[in-house]
Amino acid sequence: MKYPMEHVSLMETGIDVSKELQHRTIDNQILITRSTYSDLKDIVNIYRESENHADIDIVLDCLETDLEKYYNKTKAAIAMDLEF
């Protein structure tokens, strides 16, 4: 827990994006902006630099893949991709 504020930021961002996907009606809203993308990439890099990163590399790879996939996409595009 060297970076408590970064952890809180990651949690808050995840909650905000989840709420937007579930409850908001602005379908053309971009959920992962350049700023959000950069902040989340920074947090992923902090985890990658940790001494136990090998234990979570698979999770970090998935997070980075999703960040790349959903960066600069509208809420409607993300929601449609997540529908089963």
Quickly state the pLDDT bin for 66 (edges 50, 70, 90): very high
Break the chain down into helix, strand, coil percent, rounded to 5: 70, 0, 25
Question: Is 70 exceeded by the pLDDT of residue 64?
Answer: yes
Q: What is the token pair recorded at 48?
A: 């990658």
Question: Is 80 exceeded by the pLDDT of residue 39?
Answer: yes
Please tell me which residue, 82 or 24, carries the higher pLDDT value: 82
Q: Three-class SS of residue 30?
A: strand
* C-alpha to C-alpha distances, 23 to 8, 37, 75, 80, nearest whole angstrom: 22, 22, 11, 15
- Give the distance from CA 75 to its chain's centroid: 14
pLDDT at residue number 23: 81
